[in-house]
Structure 1
Amino acid sequence: SLPDDILHLLCEELAEQAQFDTLFNCACANRALAAPALTNLYRSHHLSPVRGGGEDEAVLLATKQLMVQRWSILWRSIIASALDATLFPYCRYIKLLDFRDLRYLLEDDQFKGKVIKEFFSEPMAQFHMTRKLRAPGHKGPRLDESAILDAIGDVVTQHTPMLEIISGELLSDALVRWTPRLPRLQALELYAGTPLEDELVHASISEHCPQFHSLSIYTWSAPDRDHKLSKFVGAVRPQSLRMIETIRDIGASAETFLALNAHSETLKELKLCVNDDSIKHLSLLRGCTALDALRVEDVQGMTNIEETQNDVFLEMIDWLRNCEGLQALSFTKFPSAPALVAPLLLEEKIQLRKLEIDWYLPKDHTTFHQALPHQKSSLQYLSLSGDTEGM
């Protein structure tokens, strides 16, 4: 038989190629293959095709039910392993704990009957938590998804030494309880920024998660969001953040932009949604010159900073000119984007590989179009979307 390290390398390669069926067959073949196969199978579980119950809405109902059943078995095996109720410690292999996917399972229309009964059978009965709904049309209690996810997180995070990423909607105090157990945590993908309102979270991540470097937030509606986010950015170890993403407008503005300068040497990827108020503070990011990728979306798309905030416009040009490693640039609903980008295209030190701009009038930006050929040796992807009226 082959040495164990060769078996692990073979299984790693199968995982890289997303050969999940082959890995499963390897795990069933013999005990020598089981450990490396299961390690890589669960390490890549977040890429499994059974997640989400299958994404094809055109499948037959029976097929959908089978996919949801397999989906539930995947999650049950991970959670049960944290209760020492499985032959192998699956939870110890995982690098990503995706509570979004688990919530989708709990909310799926096919998560019922035999599937839900089996999922919450022993030793999982402790997680079967319900809440009463008074809304018309609802009979009896329904699953309390938030409470279930929090309880599962409490148990699973005690047995995930390899965990690097947590994603989903978390209770405000969850990270205070969990992060002391997660020395390898590198990234948070939060549905809501609520957990970051607790300064104990800031201190806990700073103290217990020395490898933390990435943050993504989908939404956040609390007052003083900008101040609270800036406090978090300032609390983590200086020159450690590599990626910040706001998927919607979460109120990130002047305080957050200034705070990000404390990570000017490490910040490589910045994706921001801005509004009419925060757009005028973008030039405060001028210290962040190590960027590889920048995406800016103006959620309102009404402000042309070249005309209304020309000082900010010129400061942004100076900032981006100094981002000599910039490779990807994207502006969405940002009317002044072509005028902003044109001077950058002429910079010899900047070699863009990807450029995306929409919401502009091509007839008003001849200089931008004339500058594009200067990037022809490096540019691999170009997407321009504008209004051709009047051309």
Structure 2
Amino acid sequence: MEFIFDAYLKNTDNLLIKAALPNYISGVIASPWVNSGKMRNKGFEFTLNTVNISNRDLTWTSNITFSLNRNKVLNLYTESSGMKGEVSINNKNEVITYTTIGNPVAQFYGYKVIGMFEKESDFYQKDANGDFILDETGKPYFVALPEGKEINEGTGIWYGDYIYADINGDGKIDEKDRTYIGDPEPSFTFGFNNTITWKGFDFNLFFTGSVGNDAYNYLRQDQSNPANRWASLTDVTDFARVGMIDPEGERTFDNMCVLNPGSATYRIDQADNNKNGRISSVFVEDASYLRIKNLALGYTLPKSLIGRIGIENLRVYCNIQNLYTFTKYKGYDPEVGSLNQNVLLRGVDYARYPSQRMFTFGLNVSL
């Protein structure tokens, strides 16, 4: 048995970052690159190599690796500054990650969705016991709504819209309610490799995995709006359908509901009053996975057989890479990486080409 342990603590200073510009000149001139910023990475990794079985005919060896890293920004060029990771949504740059002092690099930044308006009671504020919070007249308070919007079927917030958390408690939903909604950094990663040989046969099985990392499914955000005719994901077929509780009654506020509660996406609203497709926790998904990275089987023919035809060694093998991935992530591949090779867009998935499943068959011949 062999055990290898490595630990590290690395401080990186004079990071090359773009300076933030005032709004009145942003877009007029390009932000200059400046050497200002400090970041710390710390973590450890261990490797365990074992020989589980070893005799004349059978050997079995294993290799286990485990690693974790913790990242933290220690300093930027001003104490109040932050680094924005932006993507273009509908020809407009939207901040999808935000990096500030004291936090890890490139955490997802947006609105926290706490539910959907599916029934009348969802529109009212409740206390910790689930009871309505009443005003001085005995009427329940409405939940916080986007600034300038009221509850109205035609021009306001309605059944089938998302409920956003009022982070700062000012009674309205606006930019000040954006918060950290996910982290692309995994809690830990691991690998598990096994090699077995028996007589002339050899077998290899290699697993890799990542636990605790989030991914921002930008493709799902872009392609699950039921009001857009080009939306291509199956989520659009399960949009929130708004209808009347009593079909014989009138179309009043207290006679409406979502007919398919728990729907995959929000209602159809051409005016987009609630901006249901904004950057939010709805599109942040757990991207943890366990992948069968490699599966190989080979057979080496006996020398007594192949020596008669002048061959020193002959091995027949088949190999499968990326055989299967166990994950709850809804995108093509949970191993996302960085969008456009930008470290500030780690874990942002905009239809990244998935890891290919590859089948290989071959011969190894030595004369």
Q: Tell me which interval the TM-score lies in, with the shorter structure as reference length.
A: under 0.3
Which structure shows the higher helix fraction? 1
TM-score by length of 2: 0.20
Larger radius of gyration: 2
TM-score, scaled to structure 1: 0.19
Write 1 or 2 for the structure with the bigger share of strand: 2
